[in-house]
A = this chain, B = another copy of it.
Amino acid sequence: MNAIGTEPRGKMVNSFDPASATGLSDRTRNLVQRRAALLGPAYRLFYNDPVEVKSAKGVLLYDAAGNEYLDAYNNVVSVGHCHPRVVDAITEQLRTLCTHTRYIQEGILDYAEDLLGTFGGNIKHVMFTCTGSEANDLAMRIAKHHTGKSGIIITDEAYHGNSDLTASFSPSLGAQSPLGTFVRRVPAPDSYRIPADKIGPLMAERVAAQIQDLERRGEGLAAFIADSMFSSDGIFAHPTDVLGPVIDVVHKAGGLFIADEVQSGFGRSGEKMWGYQRHGISPDIVTMGKPMGNGYPVAAVALSPDIVQNFGRDNRYFNTFGGNSVAMAAAQAVLNVIRDEKLLENSLRVGKVLRDGFADIAGRYEQIGDIRGSGLYVGIELVKDRASKEPDAAAAAAVVNGLRARRVLISATGAKANTLKIRPPLVFSEANADRLLSETEAVFATL
């Protein structure tokens, strides 16, 4: 946990700091200044030398000068930048009709049916929003209405959104971003530092203690919400018997279990369509977003019917753009491509190539402390030495910016900002993985 005073205000992993910038091109410097003048002080760019992007295709990005970048970071364009089937589906629908859910339309029903078929358990309804933040915000509104309680339990460095409510339970936004009085944190399942067989029981015990505290303060438990890959905590994809014990404790207290699949859903793990399915659990609510429309703003809340019954009686939900004709066409095309191009299989196979490659590099570089992830979500934790496991954020920043200089794009994550975060579009090939690995080795050689 970070405390106010121990970190710079408004910190962000891998953010460009104009105050310490050196060696920028004239063009970059001018654009950065223009950006600050127009967009104000709350926007952050990536990298010490920010990248200007002009076009993209598949896993490649191109800058204004036509230089090519290997994109090993963008999980929104999950089926690849500018995928022609998604572009065509959006274009055709745009030329036909773009309107909302106050009229009957078949497209939204066909997509809802298709999507709901991927969950199992009692997840039978889906409600559409535009962003993952809106999805988590709505999920919590429904959870509060259903339970009559207000407490929320999250992991230490969770990120669940940018709305007033979701930001209040997103501690990874930094120590100056206010947390709600109704929010309690538990440590992430740190598989690098805790024995595998202890992680689930320990997490369940910590959640139980926080529930007790919420009850004593009169808040009670509305929901436990977690991303099953624990992305912003540092990417802890294993073991997969962690969430089972937690969901039991949460249900016993009358709370709901919300699986935030914004990062880990739509096949990212390679093993299952949804990250929570790797833990063999049945959540009450599933939220999703980012890759759902390959960049078209579309997100959703899927849930068990009994949970939304009273909410639907007492409230209506309308989102002007959520579930509109074009959003549904985009989302349907993405789901079709994921299946037709067998992207789960590709994610699993190429993810293994990446992790095996990093294991090989780790034989030569002591800074690599741990190699984690599932499918094309890869976390590489860097440490000062393997005995102490002391986090090495400076090394992570050097690798991220060294790769950017070699035109390979990744980022970093975790409370200590020392874990390389690699999550390319799911169409990333073995050749792409080889390029990433050889460039990474070249950067390690310069550290």
Interface positions of A (Cβ within 8 A of B): 9-10, 12, 15, 28, 31-32, 34-35, 37-46, 50-56, 61, 74, 76-77, 81-82, 87, 90-91, 94-106, 108-109, 112-113, 116, 124-127, 130-134, 137-138, 140-141, 162-165, 167, 173-174, 176-177, 289-290, 294-297, 303, 305, 308-309, 311-324, 326-327
Contacts and interface: CB of A to CB of B under 8 A. Distances in A.
A320 B290 contact: yes
Contacts of A37: 124
B127 A130 contact: no
The number of times this chain is found in the oligomer is: 2
Contacts of A101: 39, 43
A99 B127 contact: no
Contacts of A28: 104
B82 A95 contact: yes
B39 A321 contact: no
A45 to B, nearest CB: 6
Contact of A309 (B9, B41, B176): B41
A316 B46 contact: no
Given A130-B297, A309-B41, A51 B317 contact: no
Given A31-B106, A99-B295, A131-B131, 4 more contacts: A42-B315, A53-B97, A164-B164, A295-B321
Given A130-B297, A297-B327, A316 B81 contact: no
A76 B320 contact: yes
Contacts of A82: 94-98
A116 B424 CA distance: 35
A133 to B, nearest CB: 7
Contacts of A52: 103-106
Given A99-B77, A141-B164, A164-B163, A38 B133 contact: no
B97 A41 contact: no
A40 to B, nearest CB: 3
A86 B318 CA distance: 24
13 contacts: A37-B124, A38-B112, A38-B125, A38-B126, A42-B315, A44-B316, A51-B104, A55-B97, A131-B322, A132-B320, A163-B164, A174-B315, A295-B326
Nearest to A128: B39
A325 to B, nearest CB: 8
Contacts of A125: 38-40
B91 A316 contact: no
Contacts of A134: 130-131, 133-134, 162-163
Contacts of A326: 295-296
A240 B222 CA distance: 45
B81 A87 contact: no
B90 A41 contact: no
A163 B140 CA distance: 10
A97 B45 CA distance: 18
A90 B93 CA distance: 12
Contacts of A46: 102-103
Contacts of A112: 38-39
Contact of A40 (B41, B77, B312): B312
A162 B133 contact: no
A44 B51 CA distance: 44
Contacts of A295: 98-99, 321, 324, 326
A326 B91 CA distance: 12
Contacts of A96: 54-56, 82
Contacts of A10: 312-316
Given A131-B134, A314-B174, A165 B162 contact: no
A127 B39 contact: yes
Nearest to A289: B320
Contacts of A61: 97, 99
A362 B207 CA distance: 65
Contacts of A90: 90-91, 94
Contacts of A124: 37
A184 to B, nearest CB: 18
Given A76-B320, A295-B321, A56 B12 contact: no
